[in-house]
């Protein structure tokens, strides 16, 4: 798959991860939402893009002493080669004892047009990372430099992140609640279905706010609710 179509990207940025996980669940996909991975700030912008992966293994003193030759190469290559529009997803084994990346690396991804960065470990200098404007998701802040706990092993292999399998090229979407992974071969259909679901949710929220009962309305729409929804959609688009 080359890249997300503009329509799909736009849809993924509009619908929430709750709607997407619902659509994926109905297709039999339950192991797609990362656990203990959140935006670094509540105001972090939404994120959508294809996955480019980096894998850490634990650091060991004979491989990761300060000044060990070539150690940082893999990380730097990740920042230089993650394609524009892609999300760098890092397997840190859920370990936030040392940083997965920091503000200069995040800044480089942003400057190169990447779509975001995700780790199940932690970022350092989260204030600086936030200022780059790159959507960033992690477990919790962690200041120590990465070799304190991590050895960068390789790029663009299938990994685990937040307990979820991420294959290079998978679609990765983030909002204030967390990060979901979508197989690329179904992403267009999933995005479309999610967009329709989002519209119905909006209708149901308004009805509920006006005092309507959930019976026949939510989570499953009854006949009357379906008719009302159609009317609501018509009214919304100016009666056309």
164 counts as binding a copy of itself under rule CB under 8 A = yes
Exposed/middle/buried for residue 117 (C-beta within 10 Å: 0-12, 13-18, 19+): buried
13 vs 99: CA distance, rounded Å: 27
Closest CA to 115 of 133, 101, 134: 134
With binding defined as CB under 8 A, does residue 180 bind a copy of itself? yes
Q: Is 69 in the site for a copy of itself (CB under 8 A)?
A: no
Piece in contact with a copy of itself (CB under 8 A), picked from 4-12, 64-72, 187-195, 230-238:
64-72
Q: Which of 103, 111, 109 is nearest to 89 (CA)?
A: 109
Contact between 85 and a copy of itself per CB under 8 A: no
- 18-57 residues in contact with a copy of itself (CB under 8 A) are 18-22, 25-26, 28-33, 35-36, 38, 41-42, 57
| Closest CA relative to residue 90, chosen from 79, 130, 62, 13 | 79
Out of 2, 6, 70, 215, the residue judged to bind a copy of itself by CB under 8 A: 215
Q: Which of 209, 194, 207 is closest to 235 using CA atoms?
A: 207
Smallest gap from residue 240 Cβ to a copy of itself (A): 27
16 belongs to the binding site for a copy of itself (CB under 8 A): yes
Query: Does the footprint of a copy of itself cover residue 124 (CB under 8 A)?
Result: yes
């Amino acid at each position: 798959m080359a890249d997300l179509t503009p329509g799909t990207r736009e849809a993924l940025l509009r619908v929430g991860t709750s709607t997407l996980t619902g659509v994926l669940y109905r297709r039999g996909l339950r192991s797609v939402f990362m656990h203990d991975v959140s935006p670094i700030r509540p105001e972090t912008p939404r994120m959508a893009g294809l996955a480019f992966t980096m894998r850490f293994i634990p650091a060991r003193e004979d491989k990761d002493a300060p000044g060990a030759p070539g150690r940082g190469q893999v990380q730097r290559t990740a920042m230089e080669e993650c394609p524009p529009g892609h999300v760098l997803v890092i397997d840190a084994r859920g370990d936030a004892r040392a940083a997965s990346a920091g503000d200069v690396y995040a800044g480089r991804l942003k400057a190169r047009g990447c779509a975001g960065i995700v780790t199940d470990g932690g970022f350092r200098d989260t204030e600086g990372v936030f200022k780059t404007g790159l959507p960033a998701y992690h477990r919790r802040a962690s200041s120590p430099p990465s070799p304190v706990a991590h050895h960068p092993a390789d790029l663009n292999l299938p990994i685990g992140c937040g307990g979820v399998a991420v294959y290079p090229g998978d679609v990765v979407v983030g909002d204030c609640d967390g990060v979901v992974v979508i197989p690329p071969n179904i992403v267009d259909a999933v995005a479309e279905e999610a967009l329709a679901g989002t519209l119905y949710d909006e209708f149901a929220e308004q009805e509920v706010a006006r005092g309507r009962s959930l019976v026949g309305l939510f989570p499953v729409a009854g006949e009357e609710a379906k008719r009302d929804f159609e009317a609501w959609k018509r009214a919304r688009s100016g009666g056309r």
